[in-house]
Structure 1
Amino acid sequence: MQASVLFEAQNIVGESIIWSDDEHALYWVDIGGKRIHRLEVETARHDTWPTPDFPTSIGIRKAGGFIVGLAREVCFWQPGEAFETLAVPEPDMPDNRLNEGRVAPDGSFWVSTMQNNLNPDGAPKHMDANTGAVYRIDPSGTITRLTPNEYGITNTMGWTRNNRFLFADTLANEIYSFAYDPETKIISDRRTIVSGFDRGLPDGSCLDADDHLWNCRVVGGAAIARFSAEGTLSTLIELPVSWPTSCTFGGKDFSTLYVTSARFTMTPEHLATHPLEGSLLAIETSFRGVPEPKFGY
């Protein structure tokens, strides 16, 4: 499997890519660029919308439009319209921000937090504490905290068919598996399934139809690693970008893996010799993904 450059987005931090099967289009956010992107794969039409704060995640709503994580708020959004606040997961933790977010199989939106690593201008901000947690937001806006505030940079969200929730801490270089109870909506029994993998660090992921996790290896990893739900490496795909950040399956048969990347913290000298950093990639695979759930009842 070989990656090709689909779109030279030059994203500062491209993240949270999703495939809209209704539109045959990709949506993703650029956190540092404060933009939401849309790309029609077949026509190459590209649209962007500015956001009032750093956008950190995006999901599709059953009622139409999107649910979007900003730096502090989770909002409803329609392209070209204002953002409508649904929930603020950590109103009493001003030094934290939202990071990963994904619609769960039951139609809720799960978001995770971390100590804010961004200055107001988007420049890197020093981190000195592990204060991130995972939250569930149901369609009514009710917020439930699912973990203690103990994680560094929170990334990766996926739910397997046998009710395990997969999650990662980038700073710890670990991927975890939790038991997920679909009745109580609670997670427990945390197990570390990947630790110390020596290609970069774990960032965003998606699951395929065989419950294998496709994990972006950021911070110089320059690869996608495919792990079983138990943490066994089965495939490693080399990439032409050094900071892959998020991935999703899409296309007509959900066999194409789309990958965002970042150029955050990279020097002008590095970017001059590596101009593809921040691009959107496509990988034709022999595997199949699954459609993204939609937010709402």
Structure 2
Amino acid sequence: MQPNILLEARDLVGESILWSGEESALYWVDNGGKRIHRLEVAAGRHDIWPMPDFPTSIGMRKDGGFIVGLCREVCFWRPDGPFETFVVPEPDLPGNRLNEGRVAPDGSFWVSTMQNNLNADGSPKDMDRNSGAYYRIDPSGSITQLTMNEYGITNTMAWTSDNRFLTADTLANEIYSFAYDPSSRTIGDRKTIVDGFERGLPDGSCLDVDDNLWNCRVVGGSSVACFDARGSLRNLVELPVSWPTSCTFGGAGLSTLYVTSARFTMSEKHLAANPLEGSVLAVDVNTRGKPEPKFGY
């Protein structure tokens, strides 16, 4: 499982990578860099769209285009078009921002929040509280708050075939499993399945067909760790970047693991010695993933 450098994107914080099977292309956001990427893997075509705000997540829509989390708003967007505000999950919490976001299997869009850790220029801003929560956004526009505002840096969203919702708190270095009720569309009975794993901290993840969680280990973890449903380590993919941030399965048969990374908070000296930080990588693994759901009924 030797990783290959797919693109030296030099992302400040690459996040929310997803595979469009219809286009044979990857989409992802550069959070701190205020841009959205598209890469046709086989053809090598690379498009970049500058953003008016910090993009935090992206998902595909059934009727075309994308649903995008910005700093505070969730918007509809088509490449080269304007942003259309859809909802604002936390209008009364201006000190928070959106972080993770993903389309759920039922066609809704889930987002999570955190205390804002970004200054206007994308530089880091100190955090002093755990104020993040999780929300479900229905295609009708209704918003349901799923948890209390008690999380540090919310990351990872994955729904297993046996109705569990997997997520993580980066600051706590914990990965959680919630019971997910598809009829009431709620989560509960949180269990910690990974606690204190020594390689970095948990960031974005994706599931394979066997519901194993492939989790990017940010903040010096230099790896993607694969955990089973009980939180036992099944695999560890070593990477030539120290802050991997998000991953997805794509390519032929959804058998390639694509990984984004970050350059956030890194010194010029470190970046000069490690120029691949912020790249997108491809790893052939001995499993395959699931198609990405699309937002809408």
TM-score (norm 1): 1.00
The DSSP-based 3-state class of the residue aligned with 1:253 is helix
Q: 1:140 maps to which residue?
A: 140
Structure 2 residue identity aligned to 1:14: G
The DSSP-based 3-state class of the residue aligned with 2:272 is helix
CA–CA separation in structure 2 for the residues paired with 1:265 and 1:223: 18
Structure 2 residue identity aligned to 1:223: S
Q: 2:83 maps to which residue?
A: 83
1:244: how far off? 0.0
CA–CA separation in structure 2 for the residues paired with 1:51 and 1:5: 25
CA–CA separation in structure 2 for the residues paired with 1:201 and 1:3: 20
CA–CA separation in structure 1 for the residues paired with 2:141 and 2:276: 39
1:230: how far off? 1.4
CA–CA separation in structure 1 for the residues paired with 2:181 and 2:258: 30
The DSSP-based 3-state class of the residue aligned with 1:272 is helix
Q: 1:188 maps to which residue?
A: 188
Q: 1:200 maps to which residue?
A: 200
1:235: how far off? 0.2
* Mapping for residues 248-287 of structure 1, pairs under 5 Å: 248-287=248-287
CA deviation map 1:168-206 (0-9, x unaligned): 000000000000000000000000000000000000000
CA–CA separation in structure 2 for the residues paired with 1:2 and 1:163: 33
CA–CA separation in structure 1 for the residues paired with 2:173 and 2:283: 24
Structure 2 residue identity aligned to 1:158: A
The DSSP-based 3-state class of the residue aligned with 2:271 is helix
Find out whether 1:106 has 2:106 as its counterpart.
yes
Structure 2 residue identity aligned to 1:185: R
CA–CA separation in structure 1 for the residues paired with 2:219 and 2:252: 31
1:140: how far off? 1.0
CA–CA separation in structure 2 for the residues paired with 1:129 and 1:58: 26
Q: 2:234 maps to which residue?
A: 234
* Mapping for residues 210-249 of structure 1, pairs under 5 Å: 210-249=210-249
* Mapping for residues 25-64 of structure 1, pairs under 5 Å: 25-64=25-64
Find out whether 1:21 has 2:13 as its counterpart.
no
Q: 1:4 maps to which residue?
A: 4
1:62: how far off? 0.1
CA–CA separation in structure 2 for the residues paired with 1:145 and 1:50: 30
CA–CA separation in structure 2 for the residues paired with 1:96 and 1:72: 8
Structure 2 residue identity aligned to 1:205: S
1:40: how far off? 0.2
CA–CA separation in structure 2 for the residues paired with 1:221 and 1:32: 20
Structure 1 residue identity aligned to 2:24: H
1:51: how far off? 1.2
1:161: how far off? 0.3
1:286: how far off? 1.2
CA–CA separation in structure 1 for the residues paired with 2:260 and 2:230: 25
CA–CA separation in structure 2 for the residues paired with 1:35 and 1:95: 22
Q: Identity, % of aligned pairs?
A: 74
CA–CA separation in structure 2 for the residues paired with 1:286 and 1:230: 20
CA–CA separation in structure 1 for the residues paired with 2:257 and 2:204: 13
CA–CA separation in structure 1 for the residues paired with 2:27 and 2:82: 18
Q: 1:176 maps to which residue?
A: 176
1:102: how far off? 0.3
Structure 1 unmatched ranges of 5 or more: none
The DSSP-based 3-state class of the residue aligned with 2:17 is strand
The DSSP-based 3-state class of the residue aligned with 2:260 is strand
CA–CA separation in structure 2 for the residues paired with 1:43 and 1:269: 34
CA–CA separation in structure 2 for the residues paired with 1:130 and 1:55: 21
1:229: how far off? 1.5
The DSSP-based 3-state class of the residue aligned with 1:166 is strand
The DSSP-based 3-state class of the residue aligned with 1:269 is helix
Q: List structure 1 runs of 4+ shifted beyond 6 angstroms.
A: none
Q: 2:97 maps to which residue?
A: 97
Structure 2 residue identity aligned to 1:135: Y
TM-score (norm 2): 1.00
